[in-house]
Amino acid sequence: MADPTAPRPTTRRAVTRADVAREAGVSTAVVSYVINDGPRPVAATTAARVREAVERLGYRPNLSARALRLGTTDLIGLIVPDSSNPFFAEYALEIEQAAARRGCSLVVANSKGSPSLERRNVESLANRQVSGLIVASATAGDRVDLRARRDVPVALINADGPVSGLSTLGPDFRQGARDAVEHLIVEHGAATVGLATGPRRNHTAYGREDGWREALARHGLPAGPILEDEFSRAGGYRMGRQLLRGDAPDLPDALFALSDLQAVGLLRALHETGIDVPRDVALVSFDGTIESEYCWPGLTVARQPIRAMAEAAVAAVMDAPSEHQVFRTELVIRRSCGCESSEPVVVTP
Amino acid sequence: MADPTAPRPTTRRAVTRADVAREAGVSTAVVSYVINDGPRPVAATTAARVREAVERLGYRPNLSARALRLGTTDLIGLIVPDSSNPFFAEYALEIEQAAARRGCSLVVANSKGSPSLERRNVESLANRQVSGLIVASATAGDRVDLRARRDVPVALINADGPVSGLSTLGPDFRQGARDAVEHLIVEHGAATVGLATGPRRNHTAYGREDGWREALARHGLPAGPILEDEFSRAGGYRMGRQLLRGDAPDLPDALFALSDLQAVGLLRALHETGIDVPRDVALVSFDGTIESEYCWPGLTVARQPIRAMAEAAVAAVMDAPSEHQVFRTELVIRRSCGCESSEPVVVTP
DNA sequence: CTGAAAGCGCTAACAT
DNA sequence: ATGTTAGCGCTTTCAG
């Protein structure tokens, strides 16, 4: 008779390690040794017999039990403000791939820019015994409340500086912004460069703003107009509308957007008004997501090395914690700055 | 002395349910009851005492143990070909939100269009005892090999029809495509409408192709040129280049792209060649991701009700399996078809 | 090289 | 209303 005491309706009792042991005529320990390839050696013939039994029975190890025993899950938690934001989506993909290479899976949680939700997500993932936690904090780095990190290694990505007790990493915000803005000034003779920034409570904006300011200062130029709105296409669009309001808007020579998304929104507003980029205003942005490559005109960007950063984040939580790591961005020249790119389009490999 | 036998370096032994019980002077069962709010009642004063102890000790339940006991994890697995594809990224976000509403977390795996990797992901997530599995198969629906679904409810999203033993759901591919193409014909007098489709091995392409063909047939029009490339921006771009090659390319009046991404790539190729959309060619696509709203010109699309589908997928695996569900798409008129939209831009809420 | 057995932390009978 | 306790399936120490 079937055993009706199963906790939840698991169609039938699953095959366990004990079944395999019985089938193969060995002890459960041996089954464990062959499956995990250690820690004790097993005679080749015994191992073969076990593997055969595993196959015949269709045995699949129960990872929950393993996790309980080991106190770890081979699960990496990722907390981002918005996983549908292309920047985070690309980041998440690379993290998933890096995790997969180490046999880990990725669980993603959205904090929607809410510090309290972020905290709850950290707690919840820590309770799940994730092996590591990677977080892109929507708020200031040092305000990240990681009480729950008791026994979970945490890496803070998109960080603009070290945070004691955590592994942190991020792009060189300042350098990237400076490069982009200097390109505008040096190569295209821009004399006024506006800034399209994000919410001021977000610490990560500072580095990019400073980079912009530095580039200007280096060339003795005054600060251009400053627009501020959220890090989204809609935010960029609103900034564009604001820039263009009035009868005779006074456009700067160029604009630096803190993110691709905002640049895309700006582009939209500019297009609608019949303003040509780069002829009427040049535009450069920070991030370098794929979208920046395909919009029109293609955006000149300070591109973050997402794959390398993803790998570093996973390494920081899985292998060894690290000091703050900063990654140089790469200036990718396309048309929005005014350059004539020789290639019609840079198609990603 | 510290106990050095901890399986992995958990900084110190974590607080367990037993500690709380001792602290509160009750049994572990009672602690369980107050934490889970059942299944047995607990006196209010006792409960308060327990909660206090939990607070004082900073107790956090170990979800691995719970999962082992219960045979389920409150983890939903999602397998997609490419989680950085904006369509899947938006889908994943909505699924994560729907899961979160039920107290579940989402683990995402990429199959990169490989059936074998897809299968491995299914296995691996099933071994993790996920409570449900949602898969967007890169291959044909009926070829989905879900041997591992022994005791895991599976929902197939982006499905074009029922698959026995699985919950399936998807947009009304045919209706959506038909609506979009008919709009081109009826409202804009398009006499030749080309098709930009995806790899033919992908069954989900059939419905959209049929819709295109049906719309044409209804109005006695011949099939326009057919382009075929992968479901990506690069694929769209290549199709655009192909369409335009030669000295005097013979452009159709309009083009229907099976996905936003391909439309974006097409748009890029068209822009580069100085071809105006919609003046020289009109363009409509299927999906309706946010990117379609912000590119230039804004894309007229058959928009999938992603949120509703995400909710349905989660419900199918968490609540009750369902017959095949099809969701109507909504035709969203923007400028790429030739309409003058009254609103300058439809900003998403 | 292999077997026996002790738990990991939790839930939910079954007792009281 | 509360306490006791038997496992869930796995890993690994300790004996053989």
Cis bond before residue B61 (omega within 30° of 0): no
Q: Could you tell me if B116 and B244 lie in one domain?
A: no
Q: What is the pLDDT of residue B58?
A: 87
pLDDT by residue (tens digit) across A131-183?
999 999 877 655 556 654 567 899 999 999 998 888 999 999 999 999 999 99
Q: What is the pLDDT of residue A44?
A: 87
> Is the model's pLDDT at B2 over the cut of 50?
no
> Is residue B320 situated within a structural domain?
no
Stretch among A206-220, A288-302, B84-98, B133-147 having the lowest mean pLDDT: B133-147
Whether B8 and chain A come into contact, CB under 8 Å, resolves to: yes
> Is residue B51 situated within a structural domain?
yes
Q: Could you tell me if A32 and A151 lie in one domain?
A: no
Chain A, residues 260-279, CB within 8 A of chain B, namely 264-265, 267-269, 271-272
Q: Could you tell me if A85 and A151 lie in one domain?
A: yes
Length of chain A: 349
CB B194, CB B184: distance < 8 Å: no
| Distance (Å, whole) CA A226 – CA A233 | 17
Answer whether 0.85 is exceeded by the pTM: yes
> Is the model's pLDDT at B278 over the cut of 50?
yes
Rg (chain B; Cα; Å) = 26
> Residue for token digits 């961005």?
A329
> Is residue A312 situated within a structural domain?
no
- The pair of three-digit structure tokens given for residue A262, joined into one six-digit string: 């905002």
Considering only alpha carbons, which residue of chain B is nearest residue A347?
B234
Q: Could you tell me if A237 and A255 lie in one domain?
A: yes
| Distance (Å, whole) CA B336 – CA B55 | 58
Could you tell me the sign of the dihedral formed by the alpha carbons of A224, A225, A228, A231, in that order?
Answer: negative
Pick from A6, A128, A267: CB nearest B296: A267
Instruction: Among B61, B92, B117, give the residue marking a domain's end.
Output: B61
Express as a percent the part of chain A with pLDDT over 70.
90
Express as a percent the part of chain A with pLDDT over 90.
71
- The pair of three-digit structure tokens given for residue B101, joined into one six-digit string: 């509403």
| Distance (Å, whole) CA B149 – CA B154 | 7
Q: Which amino acid is at A347?
A: V
Stretch among A328-332, B133-137, B232-236, B338-342 having the lowest mean pLDDT: B338-342
With cut-offs at 50, 70 and 90, classify the pLDDT of residue A11.
Answer: very low
Q: Do B64 and A86 touch (CB under 8 A)?
A: no
Q: What is the pLDDT of residue A149?
A: 59
Q: Could you tell me if A199 and A89 lie in one domain?
A: no
Q: Could you tell me if B192 and B339 lie in one domain?
A: yes
With cut-offs at 50, 70 and 90, classify the pLDDT of residue A122.
Answer: very high
> Is the model's pLDDT at B63 over the cut of 70?
yes
Q: Could you tell me if A39 and A84 lie in one domain?
A: no
> Is residue A6 situated within a structural domain?
no
Q: Could you tell me if B182 and B262 lie in one domain?
A: yes
Q: Could you tell me if B255 and B290 lie in one domain?
A: yes
pLDDT by residue (tens digit) across A268-303?
999 999 999 999 999 999 999 999 999 999 999 999
CB B146, CB B164: distance < 8 Å: no
Q: Could you tell me if B233 and B285 lie in one domain?
A: yes
> Is residue B118 situated within a structural domain?
yes
Q: Do B105 and A124 touch (CB under 8 A)?
A: yes
What separation in angstroms does the CA of B101 have from each of A106, B122, B346? 19, 24, 28
Is the CB of B29 within 7 Å of strand D? yes
Burial class for B213, CB neighbours closer than 10 Å (0-12, 13-18, 19+): middle
Rounded average pLDDT over A121-125? 92
Average confidence score pLDDT of chain A = 89
Closest nt by CA–C1' to A66: D10
With cut-offs at 50, 70 and 90, classify the pLDDT of residue B211.
Answer: very high
| Distance (Å, whole) CA B344 – CA B309 | 29
> Is the model's pLDDT at A3 over the cut of 50?
no
pLDDT by residue (tens digit) across A231-252?
999 999 999 999 998 777 789 9
Q: What is the DSSP letter of B134?
A: E
Q: What is the pLDDT of residue B150?
A: 62
Q: Which amino acid is at A280?
A: D
Is the CB of B273 within 7 Å of strand D? no
Higher pLDDT residue, B230 or B3? B230
Pick from B73, B237, B296: CB nearest A268: B296
CATH number at residue A91: 3.40.50.2300
> Is the model's pLDDT at B133 over the cut of 50?
yes
| Shortest Cα distance, chain B CAs vs residue A217, angstroms | 34
Pick from B63, B71, B105: CB nearest A109: B105
Stretch among A264-273, B134-143, B151-160, B218-227 having the lowest mean pLDDT: B134-143
Q: Could you tell me if B112 and B248 lie in one domain?
A: no
Q: Å between A102 CA and C16 C1'?
A: 51
Residue of B57, B59, B62, B93 to mutate when probing chain A, most A C-beta within 10 A: B93
Q: What is the pLDDT of residue B164?
A: 84
> Is residue A313 situated within a structural domain?
no
> Is residue A5 situated within a structural domain?
no
Domain tally for chain A?
3
Instruction: Among A138, A170, A202, give the residue marking a domain's end.
Output: A170
Domain extent, residue A161, equals 71-170
Closest nt by CA–C1' to B69: D8
Pick from B7, B67, B89: CB nearest A70: B7
Q: Could you tell me if B226 and B335 lie in one domain?
A: yes
Name the 3-class secondary structure at A235.
helix
Whether A53 and chain B come into contact, CB under 8 Å, resolves to: no
Chain A, residues 75-104, CB within 8 A of chain B, namely 75, 82-84, 86, 89-90, 92-93, 96-97, 100
Contacts of B2 (CB under 8 A, 6+ apart): B12
With cut-offs at 50, 70 and 90, classify the pLDDT of residue B7.
Answer: very low
Q: Do B108 and A89 touch (CB under 8 A)?
A: no
Instruction: Among A170, A204, A223, give the residue marking a domain's end.
Output: A170
Task: List the single protein residue with the shortest CA to C1' distance from C4.
Answer: A27
| Distance (Å, whole) CA A65 – CA A330 | 45
CATH number at residue A48: 1.10.260.40
> Is residue A149 situated within a structural domain?
yes
| Shortest Cα distance, chain B CAs vs residue A168, angstroms | 20
Rounded average pLDDT over A340-348? 56
Whether B342 and chain A come into contact, CB under 8 Å, resolves to: no
